[in-house]
A and B are shown apart, each in its own frame.
Chain A
Amino acid sequence: MIKTLMKSIREYKRASILTPIYITLEIILECLLPLVMANLIDKMTGSSLTPIIRYGVILIIMAMLSLFFGYMSGRIGATASCGFAKNLRQDVFYKIQGFSFADIDKFSTSSLVTRMTTDVTNVQNAYQMIIRIAVRTPLMLIFSVIISLTISVKMSLIFLIMIPVVAAALFSIVFIVFPIFKRIFEKYDAMNNSVQENIQGIRVVKSFVREDYEQENFHKSAADVCKEFTKAERIIALNNPILMFCISLAIFLVCFIGAKTIINSGATELTTGQLSSLINYGVQILSSLMMLSMVFVICSMATESANRICEVLNHESTLTSPENGVTEVKNGSIQFENVSFKYSDKSKKPALMNINLDIKSGQTIGILGGTGSSKTSLIQLISRLYDVTEGKVSVSGIDVRNYDLESLRDEVAVVLQKNVLFSGTIKENLRWGKKDASDEELVRVCKLAQADEFIEQFPEKYDTYIEQGGTNVSGGQKQRLCIARALLKKPKILILDDSTSAVDTKTDAMIRKALREEIPDTTKIIIAQRTSSLEDADQIIVMDGGRITEQGTHEELLAYNGIYQEVYQSQTNGKKED
């Protein structure tokens, strides 16, 4: 895990190494200060001014240097941790850009967003912690112990004995509380999740008059979260008093034993100044233990985030472009040979079974089928959005797996069922299809997709700003924009996956007519619910449960007593009655 993350440090290696170095220097100075001070105090006998000035100057120089090093470490530390986070975020984003559909399904959109936002922030904080405090604290501890030892071995024993005791107490608190916290966070998430669902589903709650029911449920989970949190927090609340007690005890013992030693040895074994520095070092040693346990907690919490990030970074995409793949798609013919397909190895039932299909270049193919009959799965195999489990899909006679992925997808345009427009102007959205398309080209494809007319009615026309998710255009308008965007690619194969469901039948017919007349050489595959959208196709395929159950022209299928006939009749009944 650490190795994977380290790769993202890159140009911030220097900063990441310099930070601890500056911190080390700062700490050495900070730890030496009380020692030099002890000398000064001992020289304050009032007999001479020279030592006071001499030590004073040394002390001030030391304090200034320490300030300088601290300042540098603060600045560089921020650069290192922010830079690391920047690289990490970028690495994850770039990695996801290379994901296949199957990979995206596996991780799910919302989990990918969390990994790139919350998780990266957690790791960033931990990283800053590690290069600054996790260096600072142990060094502080070590230096303080060493200096205490040089002052008086006997007195230092007090600290040396107390260190393991305090450490054991503080760390056992962490170990007891950590698992509780993990459990709590699950409950906490569940509670917030239920709030979210209530906000989104407020109409459902109110229609079914379930306000009281929801309140009761919420109170229960809030009480539960409160109980568990209190339990954990009360254990953590022991941290401060324990430390305070230990520090007090240390000061008490140092005073007691120290005073006796000074008096009994006549200030030879130990001096007053040394006693005062010992007290300081003691406080420092014990306080750093506290910091250390805090660093430990934060790092453990970040471990999970780090794991989730690494899962993405280490994920090997299941679908990659072959080296030296074929870059030219000659024509728009498509063959399916004994194709079977499963979404994942774990799925019990294959989504597609034994599909054989031969589509000639320039043909129009209609596909009809109920919800869940795998129409979408079928067409996604053509532009290799997924790979077949068995069999072979070929485009212009070559297995799709042998094409360079980008070349293949440039020639096979898919208008997805769940389509998305992005925030930006209509022009910007359309140019997703072709970056350098001229305005005339945009107008041409919009005319084909019957979108030009409504775009012209917008006050800003082609510069109309589309809100995120395309919320400010109607469903039918959105679908036509998506078709136009795909047409801009001038593909050899055009696939419309239920892309005109919100468009009225007349416009739908006009789109089909335009496609037929303006791009006759392009193979067109149309998935639709309405038989009227399919009537004039060269070949109609009816799918049911992952198989092709009927295949033929409109007339052939009507003559055959099957699903197509049934659907056709249910949709045209009214018209015949007229």
Chain B
Amino acid sequence: MNQNKQHSFGRLVRYLFSHYKFQLIVTLICIVISSFSSSIATIFIQRLIDECITPGVNQGFEAIAGKFTSILLTMGFIYICGTIASIIYNQIMAIVTQGTLRNLRNDMFDKMQTLPVKYFDTHIHGDIMSTYTNDTDAIRQLIGQSLPTLFQSALTITVMFLTMLYYSIWLTLVVMIVIFLMLKITKKLGSITAAFMIQQQKSLAKEEGFIEEMMQGQKVVKVFCHEEENKEAFKKLNEQLFNDGEKANQNGNVLMTILGNVGNLMYVLLAVIGGLMVYLKAPNICLTGVSIVSIGIIVSFLGMSRQLSQTIGQASMQVSMIAMGLAGATRVFELMDEQPEEDHGYVTLVNVKKDAEGNLIETKESTEMWAWKHPHQDGTVTLTELTGDVRLEDVDFGYVPEKLVLNDVSLFAKPGQKIAFVGATGAGKTTITNLINRFYDISEGKIRYDGINISKIKKPALRSSLGVVLQDVNLFTGSVMDNIRYGRLDATDEECIAAAKLANADDFITRLPDGYETILTGNGSSLSQGQRQLISIARAAVADPPAMILDEATSSIDTRTEALVQAGMDNLMKGRTVFVIAHRLSTVKNSDAIMVLDHGKIMERGSHESLIEQKGTYYQLYTGAFELE
């Protein structure tokens, strides 16, 4: 983990420099100037006291007027330089931080879009989401605050340390001992705090999980009058969270106060020891040689020790933020390093029309005809008409290599046919569609589309040739119209409405408060499951695809409406290939061929009538003697 973090740190720094090299160099210079200016000020206070005030009290103002002016002018100049440098680097960092976050977000999103569906199936969505929110936020803290603060603190500490040595080695020794103590405390308390913090996070996650589950099932809780038991369970979790949170916070709070007050102690110690040295006229060893401790030196030391303990306090605040930021960066880079979906296809999909002799000619206009454009090695290009002939030949597939979901499946869909898959949950129905549009790649066998092996077809081409309506409907934030238009971005309003009518959705959409302009949020949460399915069918209809997969597309629609939707879809897809997956047999009854799947194998195939005649599994399903799960 540590090595990982170091690695992420280096990579993050490189990432920063690759985009903002010039700005960052300016920033570094400005930070040096600004911390130099704030630490050097103490030197001038000492000089002012020792060189002007002390002699001035005895000799009168005129005697030291020249010196006085020059010291003050230099001091003012340094302060102004420091302020300007500070303005510059703060402004640049604001720009760099936000710009870097934007770049990171864009890179992550672009990468995410290229990842295979498998990635999304095998990662918890909340975790992916949190790289965009929590992790990016942690990085913002790291770049915008922690890194500059840390750099500045390090500089300030070094400069002050040198200044101290310049004045007095004895007093510096005192400071060093106290600082060593402070670091020890920070480390000890810091690690205790961190441990409790983790414990607190765990309890929090547990409690939040409970809250989420119960809020989702709140209606069931009501129906069963389970409120009191719920309160009890909650109370226990809440008490645990309180205990862990209390400990974590106590240690965190105490750390700050202890550091602050150890600083105070150091302050006092310095004054007392300094006083003693003045009294004893103890020889003071410093970088410039041996001298006598002056009051000016003690005053400066006091100032410096205050600033030093404050700087350390500030830096210690950053420790946990840095750890969090680096952990965030590690996760962000992990996402960026994921393997993208591979696409070695070269066959593309084009619109075509037929010339007088019946040859296919590629065209830009939208015709009702499509063809596969197949470039060959010798430079020639052939056009194969898209007819929707899909064949699976001895296909084996498993989501994990050890467990085959499909075993030696062969099937064919003739152009224009409506093919249905029926089978229990886990029989492999949805898997077949996942394979046809290459969300997953098969392990053995071949899938041919109009005679072309689908691994030769470019994925975008393959997928746009297949309209898909999935069981779990996903709608996007935006108007109903936008959601339907998602199927084909250049569709006119009229075309979208026509598609909605075809999907039998027009009726309920026009009754929504703003009709087609009603804004849907939260995956269309204001609509019923059935209504969402109707919109999703309309979305596929407006795409007007050459072939279509309907995966439990009408499962939440009542049978009467379903019949109407089906009539509309049959009309649209006349002469095109359609795959239907359904649980409800009324959905698949009028298909040309029905495949009954069980445990990844095709058990029966045929039309509704022929399957009934066979009196096999389908017949049992149909007469209700058998259950689908």
Contacts and interface: CB of A to CB of B under 8 A. Distances in A.
B246 A226 contact: no
A191 B522 CA distance: 13
Interface stretch (A146-154, A502-510, A547-555): A502-510
Interface in A202-253: 202-211, 213-215, 218-219, 222-223, 225-226, 229-230, 233-234, 236-238, 240-241, 244-245, 248-249, 251-252
A280 B45 CA distance: 12
B626 A420 contact: no
Contacts of A237: 90-91, 93-94
B354 interface: no
A262 B627 contact: no
Contact of A205 (B113, B246, B475): B113
Contact of A215 (B109, B234, B508): B109
B246 A52 contact: no
Interface string B548-573: 00000000111111010000000000
Interface stretch (B270-278, B366-374, B495-503, B591-599): B270-278
B211 to A, nearest CB: 5
A276 B302 contact: yes
Contacts of A193: 477
Contacts of A338: none
Contacts of A432: 220, 224, 226
A71 interface: yes
Contacts of B64: 263
A194 interface: yes
Contact of A90 (B52, B234, B274): B234
Interface in A537-578: 563, 566-567, 570-571, 574-575, 577-578
B264 interface: yes
A453 to B, nearest CB: 10
A397 interface: no
Interface size class of B (residues with CB under 8 A): 35 or more
Interface in A87-111: 89-90, 93-94, 96-101, 104, 108-110
Interface in B497-518: 508
A371 B528 contact: yes
B589 interface: yes
Contact of A222 (B44, B102, B425): B102
Interface string A476-506: 1100000001000100000000000011111
B132 A192 contact: yes
Interface stretch (A162-170, A300-308, A388-396, A408-416): A408-416
A576 to B, nearest CB: 12
A574 B589 contact: yes
Contact of B106 (A190, A209, A219): A219
Tell me if A's interface is mostly helix, strand, loop or mixed: helix
Given A205-B113, A238-B87, A263-B61, A104 B223 contact: no
A385 B93 CA distance: 56
Nearest to A211: B113
A175 interface: no
B222 interface: yes
A209 B466 CA distance: 10
Main DSSP-derived SS at the B contact region? helix
B202 interface: no
Interface stretch (A33-41, A351-359, A440-448, A514-522): A33-41
Contacts of B437: 206-207
A206 B439 contact: yes
Given A110-B522, A259-B52, A117 B278 contact: no
A185 interface: no
A117 B211 contact: yes
A75 B252 CA distance: 9
A132 B486 CA distance: 53
Interface in B7-47: 34, 38, 41, 44-45
A101 B83 contact: no
A97 B623 CA distance: 45
A100 to B, nearest CB: 8
Given A215-B109, A260-B61, A77 B265 contact: no
B226 A238 contact: no
Given A194-B477, A209-B463, A251-B41, A83 B261 contact: no
Nearest to B487: A208
B261 A70 contact: yes
A112 interface: yes
A366 interface: no
B574 interface: no
Nearest to B465: A209
Nearest to A435: B229
A55 B261 CA distance: 18
Contacts of A48: 279
Interface in A509-538: 509, 529, 532
Nearest to A489: B224
Contact of B98 (A71, A205, A226): A226
A207 B459 CA distance: 9
Contacts of B624: 504-506, 508-509, 532
A370 interface: yes
B452 interface: no
Contact of A371 (B34, B557, B625): B557
A230 B559 contact: no
A517 B253 CA distance: 67
Interface stretch (B237-245, B317-325, B387-395, B441-449): B237-245
A1 interface: no
B559 A529 contact: yes
Nearest to A488: B224
Most chain B Cβ neighbours within 10 Å, of A60, A214, A255, A369: A255
Nearest to A476: B629
B101 A409 contact: no
A503 B621 CA distance: 11
Contact of B75 (A79, A255, A276): A255
Given A86-B242, A272-B49, A509-B624, A101 B222 contact: yes
A218 B106 CA distance: 7
Contacts of A197: 474, 476-477, 523
A160 interface: no
A551 B512 CA distance: 30
Contact of B218 (A109, A190, A502): A109
B86 interface: yes
B218 A56 contact: no
A230 B241 CA distance: 37
Contacts of A210: 486
B79 A252 contact: yes
Given A433-B224, A509-B624, A574 B608 contact: yes
Contact of A272 (B267, B295, B475): B295
A473 to B, nearest CB: 9
B72 interface: yes
Contact of A503 (B75, B76, B627): B627
B364 interface: no
A60 B268 contact: yes
Nearest to B274: A44
A226 B295 contact: no
Contact of A94 (B45, B231, B253, B269): B231
Interface in A118-136: 128, 132
B299 interface: yes
A474 interface: yes
Contacts of B474: 197, 200-201, 203-204
Contacts of B227: 97-98
B377 interface: no
Contact of B109 (A78, A218, A371, A502): A218
Given A570-B560, A570-B563, 17 more contacts: A37-B271, A49-B276, A52-B276, A63-B264, A67-B258, A97-B230, A109-B215, A199-B112, A234-B95, A244-B82, A248-B82, A262-B57, A276-B302, A370-B561, A371-B531, A409-B225, A416-B219
8 contacts: A78-B248, A101-B219, A203-B439, A215-B110, A237-B90, A263-B64, A275-B53, A506-B626
Question: Lowest 3 A-B CB distances belong to which pairs?
Answer: A505-B624, A201-B474, A74-B253
